[in-house]
Amino acid sequence: PAPSPRYNCEYCGMLLSEDELWHHVPLYHVNAPNLEYCECPICGEGCGRRNPFAVHLRNEHGPCARGEVPRETRTGLFAIVVCRRSDGRFLMVQEFAQTGFWMPGGQLDAGESLCAAVERECIEEAGIEIRLTGVIDVIAEGKHWRRVTFMAEPVDEAMPKSLPDYESTGACWATLDEVLSGDLKLRGREPERYFRYVAEGGLVLPLEIPPEYREIMADVEL
């Protein structure tokens, strides 16, 4: 059989097959800044900040292109979680492309429930199995963008993820002081706000959609 085509990695120049490149980029370059512009070495499509090369490679080539791994889909539904350990530390995920640390969570897959999504994301991004205990916040900007923030605790004292992949660079347990210090680069301000709220004894709602949001969330399974 003819040898598989080889392609140069846009980050380091290594010559790899399509599947090797699909695995190589998130493993070795997940924390590299997004490229301003490049052409995909496999298909030639232009990639930039609005269509990052790493995201294009993951969804359009390798196992995703063959249907072995589902492509990411946009649902406009998000679930994130404040996970607090028994010693008071909070679970933080180091996001890709040097964007900083944030809370575990992400976009729901089509047909996925909110609870299943945030439990899945916690395992994928942080390597931690969680037990959901309540709801902290719901934001609904119409049905095009909705997000639920859950409260949770770890099922056990397992060490968080340390091997990078497409989902994240890794994860850690951080104190509130570390998060508020400014020494930890954050992707957004939500960890400061939600972690402080929980640490100061803020009200955690029952594990259900609050009554005032049930109409706009009626099409989403908890």
Nearest to 153 by CA among 217, 207, 97, 113: 207
10 Å CB burial of residue 194 (0-12, 13-18, 19+) is buried
What is the C-alpha to C-alpha distance for residues 138 and 79, in angstroms, rounded to an integer?
9
**Which residue do the tokens 């392609």 mark?**
7
Per-residue confidence in pLDDT tens, the chain, 222 aa: 677 899 999 999 999 999 999 999 999 999 999 899 999 999 999 999 889 999 999 999 999 999 999 888 889 999 999 999 999 999 999 998 889 999 999 999 999 999 999 999 999 999 999 999 999 999 999 889 999 999 999 999 889 999 999 999 999 999 999 999 988 999 999 999 999 999 999 999 999 999 999 999 999 999
Angle value at C-alpha 46, between 40 and 52, nearest 5 degrees? 80
**What are the tokens at 197?**
């709220």
* 220 within 8 A of 204, measured Cβ to Cβ: no
What is the C-alpha to C-alpha distance for residues 102 and 176, in angstroms, rounded to an integer?
13
Residue 127 has what pLDDT?
A: 96
Angle between helices 53-60 and 18-29 (to 10 degrees): 140
